[in-house]
Amino acid sequence: MKKIIKYVLLDLLRNRIIIAYTIFLAVISLSVFNLEDNPSKGILSLLNLVLIIVPLVSVVFSTIYVYNAAEFIELLVSQPLRRVNIWLSIFTGLASSVCMAFLVGCGIPVLIYAPGDTGLMMTAMGLLLTIVFVAIALLASVLTRDKAKGIGVAILLWFYFTLIFDGIVLFLLFQFMDYPMEKPMIVFSCLNPVDLARILILLKMDISALMGATSAIFRDFFGNQWGIAATISIMLAWAIMPLWWSVRKFNRKDL
């Protein structure tokens, strides 16, 4: 398995899109930090990058990569290898190279220009989101045979997680304004990895406001060590579940 990962990585690290993505992130992060005179505002500008662009690039790039590698995957499958290993290697290779791009392009500038809890949490969340959306991409591409359809599904999922879901939640919160919505809200958040990442970053970035919010939800659930640990585990589950499902599908897939 290590060997396949090695070669997938070798291929991906020289991939033009990965290199372009790294440069794109680096240019944005550096210009944000150099144009803003205070790093906390820079962090704020990068928040949207982490929550929107990172999932988009991760999911679309991974889907396209898997489709383009169809013949290569066939070749690997015809070799004496377990399918699980092939699939997990592709996942590992993809996830680590996109993560690497994020780390170099965004994580390192953040840690240099705005070291501290918030920057660290944002980098960690960027990496986690990358992994989650690579897993979602693998699932989308194993479920649909057609490349265009697969990419469409991937983009739709991204759109759902970054915008539609929150829109629905906001709508519900106002529809049921007179009811206690705190516990349902925790459940809602767990249904969306982007929300979880955002909340974890908020806990570092806006702790002063959150601790004073009339709603005690942050203090009581997300605000303590257990809450943070639980949230991170749920995010990991968001990576593991789609991956596990895609492995099952790939095991039975006709190539």
Partner 1 sequence: MTLFNNYMKNLSLVACLIVCTITANAKTWVVRPAGPLKWLQEAIDNARPGDTILVEKGVYRQPTIVVNKPLYIKGIDCPVLDGQKKYEIMDIKSDGVVVEGFVIVHSGYSSYNDIAAIRIINSRLVIIRNNKFDDTFFGIYSQHAVNCTIAGNTLHSNAVNEITSANGIHCWKSDSMQIINNTISGHRDGIYFEFVTNSQIKKNISTGNVRYGLHFMFSNDDLYEGNLFKNNGAGVAVMFSKGVTMLRNTFSENWGGAAYGILLKEISDSHIQHNRFIRNTTGIFMEGTNRIKVEQNVFDNNGWALKIQASCNDNTVTGNNFIGNSFDVATNGTLVLNSFTNNYWDKYEGYDLNRDGIGDVPYRPVSVYAMIAERNPVTMMLFRSFITGLLDKAEKTIPGFIPENLKDDRPKMKAFK
Partner 2 sequence: MIIATNVTKKFSKLTALDNVSVSCNKGQAISLIGPNGSGKTTLIKCLLGMVVPDSGFITFNKKNIAHNWQYRSAIGYMPQIGRYPENMTIAQVLDMMKDIRKQKAVQLDEELIYLFKLDGMMNKRMGTLSGGTRQKVSASLAFLFDPEVLILDEPTAGLDPLSTEILKEKIRKEKQQGKLIMITSHILSDLDDIITEVIYMEEGRLKFHKSLSQLQLDTGEKTLSRAIAHVMQAGL
For the CB of residue 184, give the shortest distance to partner 1 in the complex, in Å: 9
The candidate with the shortest Cα–Cα distance to 91, out of 122, 58, 123, 57, is 58
Binder among 15, 45, 147, 190 for partner 2 (CB under 8 A): 15
* 67, 142 contact by CB (below 8 A): no
**DSSP states along 228-254:** HHHHHHHHHHHHHHHHHHHHHHHHH--
Contact residue for partner 2 among 26, 30, 64, 77 (CB under 8 A):
77
Q: Does 5 bind partner 1 (CB under 8 A)?
A: no
Nearer Cβ to partner 1, position 204 or 253?
204
Using rule CB under 8 A, residue 41 touches partner 1: yes
Residue 215 near residue 182 (C-beta atoms within 8 A): yes
Helices (H), the chain: 2-12, 16-35, 39-48, 54-68, 70-77, 83-102, 108-113, 117-143, 147-159, 165-175, 182-190, 193-205, 207-212, 217, 225-252
Size of the site for partner 1 (CB under 8 A): 44
Based on the shown chain and the rule CB under 8 A, indicate whether residue 183 belongs to the binding site for partner 2.
no
Question: Which of partner 1, partner 2, none does residue 49 bind (CB under 5 to 8 Å by kind)?
Answer: none
Question: Per rule CB under 8 A, is residue 144 in the interface with partner 2?
Answer: no
Site string for partner 1, 192-231 (x = CB under 8 A): --xx--xx-xx--xxxxxxxxxxxxxx-------------
Q: What is the spatial distance between Cα 225 and Cα 19, in angstroms, rounded to a whole number?
A: 37
How many residues touch partner 2 (CB under 8 A)? 27
Name which of 105, 134, 94 is nearest 46 in CA terms: 105
Query: Binding to partner 1 by residue 189, rule CB under 8 A?
Result: yes
Closest of 248, 255, 254 to residue 87, by C-alpha: 248
Per CB under 8 A, residues contacting partner 2 are 3-4, 6-8, 10-12, 14-15, 69-72, 74-83, 252, 254-255
Per CB under 8 A, residues contacting partner 1 are 36-38, 40-41, 44, 47-48, 51-52, 162-163, 166-167, 169-170, 173-174, 177, 181-182, 185, 188-189, 194-195, 198-199, 201-202, 205-218
